[in-house]
Amino acid sequence: MPELPEVESVRLGLERHLRGRVVQRVEVLDPRPLRRQAGGEQAFVKELTGRTITGAARRGKLMWLPLDDGRALRAHLGMSGQLLVRGTAAQAQPDPAVLGQSGPDLTATQAPTLVRDLSTRPRHLRVRLHLAHQDGDEPTGAALDLVDQRMFGGLLVDDLVPTADGLPGGRGEQRALIPASATHVARDLLDPHLDQEQASARLRASGRGVKTLLLDQGIVSGVGNIYADEGLWAACLHGRRRGKALGRAAVARLLEETAAVMRRALAVGGTSFDALYVNADGAPGFFARSLAVYGRAGQDCRRCGSTLRSEVVGGRSHVFCPQCQTRPRG
C-alpha cells in the first residue's frame, strides 16, 4: 500500500494540476469505489458536478481535494489505486521533482508486473472527472481518473469539520479543517504540528511491539510496512521490542529516523516496486534502490554485513539485522 512519501508525491501533482479547476462532468464506470458515499453514485455525481477544486491536502496516507462549497473529495488509494491527470495545461510544464522519472521503473528490486495503460480508456478505469476546458489543455479534454485494479481504494464527497487541536488539517490545508471521516487519523511524522511528546508518550505507554505501534495510524499516521522497517533499522531497534520497554531517547531516535527516511524517499518520488505506484503524471518513485532492509531478507546488512532476516511481527513481515537490531528475549 502506498505510504506517506508516495501519497505526498501524488498530492503535489494533484495540487499543481487541479487547483482552480472546475469539475464539468462526472463519469462513473464502476460504482464500487463509491461504496462509502452517502446516497451512492447519484449523490456523488450531483455533489461534484460544477464544483471548483481549490487545492490538494493530505494527512498521513489520506488525501482530500477541498471544494468551493466547503466540502471535500476524499481519496484513499488502497492497495492499487491511482489518481492520474490527463490533458491539462500543467502537463506541458512538468514538475522538476519528477523530471527524468517517466517510463518504466528500472530501480526496483523486482521486475515491473503492472504497467500504466496509456489508452484513453484504461482497463481498470473506475471514475473519471471531466474538467472544464482551460487554455493549453489537450483537444481531447482534461480529466482526473481513478484507476484501481484491486478495488480497495475509494472516493467520497465528505464534510470538512474542525480539527480537534485547532491547528491546520494537514499538508496543503492551512485551515483547521479535516474530512469528517478522517478525524481518527493522527498527525504524521512530517507534519510540523505533530505533538512529538504526546506521540512518544503513547508509544512508551504500550506493551505492544514497537513495529505494531508505528503502524497504528491513531498514534502517528503515514507509516506502513516499508518505512517502519527502514526506521527501525536506522534506529537500531527490533520490531518486537515493546513500547513500554523503550526509554525516551530511544523513542525519540526512532521517530526522528523514520521521519528522516520518509523525507529521503519523498525527495525521489517515493518507493515504486512496479508501475502500480506512480504519481499523478504516471511517474514512479526511485527510493527502492536506497532501501536498507525492506525486501532484502537474505542479503547483507548495509551497516555491518550480517545476513538480514525476516519474521512476522503483529501479522506483518519484519526484515531486520540480527546484529544491529537485537531481538528481545522471550
Total Cβ atoms within 10 A of residue 39: 12
Examine the domain organization and report whether 259 and 295 are in the same domain: yes
Residue 208 grid coordinates: 505492544
* Average pLDDT rounded to a whole number, residues 275-292: 70
Position 231 pLDDT exceeds 80: yes
The answer to whether 306 and 326 have CB atoms below 8 angstroms apart is no
What's the pLDDT band for 153 if we cut at 50, 70, 90?
confident
**pLDDT value, residue 277:** 57
- For residue 61, indicate whether it is catalytic: yes
Examine the domain organization and report whether 31 and 137 are in the same domain: yes
- Which whole number is the average pLDDT over 214-226? 95
- Assigned domain for 328 exists: no
pLDDT at position 2:
83
What value does the mean pLDDT take over residues 291-318?
95
Q: How many domains does the chain have?
A: 2
The answer to whether position 249 is within a domain reads yes
Q: What per-residue confidence (pLDDT) applies to 274? A: 52
Per DSSP, what are the bridge partners of residue 177?
A: 162
Q: Please pick, among 3, 47, 230, 257, the residue that the annotation labels catalytic.
A: 3
Residue tagged active-site, from 21, 61, 86, 241: 61
Q: Are 89 and 219 within one domain?
A: no
Query: Of 2, 5, 168, 284, which residue is the catalytic one?
Result: 2
Mark which of 128, 146, 179 sits at the end of a domain.
Answer: 179
Q: What is the pLDDT of residues 93-148, one digit of tens each?
A: 544 444 333 333 333 333 333 334 445 666 789 999 999 999 999 998 999 999 88
pLDDT digits (tens, 9 = 90+) for 38-87: 999 999 999 999 999 999 999 999 999 999 999 999 998 877 788 989 88
Judge if 20 and 82 occupy the same domain.
yes
Looking at residue 89, its pLDDT comes to 79
Range of the domain at 315: 196-320
Q: Are residues 57 and 152 in the same domain?
A: yes
The percentage of residues in the chain with a pLDDT greater than 70, rounded to a whole number, is 85
Residue 5 vs residue 321, higher pLDDT: 321
User: Domain for residue 325, yes or no?
Assistant: no
Residues 124 and 63 in one domain: yes
Domain boundary among 179, 208, 224: 179
SS3 assignment for the chain:
CCCHHHHHHHHHHHHHHHCCCEEEEEEECCCHHHCCCCCHHHHHHHHHCCCEECCCEEECCEEEEEECCCEEEEEECCCCEEEEEECCHHHHCCCHHHCCCCCCCCCCCCCCCCCCCCCCCCCCEEEEEEECCCCCCCCCCEEEEEEECCCCCEEEEEEEEECCCCCCCEECECCCEEEHHHCCCCCECCCCCCCHHHHHHHHHCCCCEHHHHHCCCCCCECCCHHHHHHHHHHCCCCCCCEHHHCCHHHHHHHHHHHHHHHHHHHHCCCECCCCCCECCCCCECEHHHHCCCCCCCCCECCCCCCECEEEEECCEEEEECCCCCCCCCC
Burial level of 249, CB count in 10 A (0-12/13-18/19+)?
exposed
pLDDT of residue 79: 74
Tell me which of 5-14, 66-75, 149-158, 307-316 is least confident. 149-158
Asked if residue 116 belongs to a domain, the reply is: yes
Asked if 316 is an active-site residue, the reply is: yes
pLDDT interval class at 187 (50, 70, 90): very high
pLDDT at 281 (0 to 100): 66
pTM of structure: 0.86
How many other CB atoms sit within 10 Å of the CB of residue 68? Answer: 12
Final residue in a domain of this structure, among 150, 179, 208: 179
- Same domain for 142 and 251, yes or no, is no
CATH of the domain at 101: 3.20.190.10
**What would you report as the CA-atom Rg of the chain, rounded to the nearest whole angstrom?**
20
Residue 100: the pLDDT is 39
- Catalytic residue, chosen from 25, 242, 309, 316, is 316
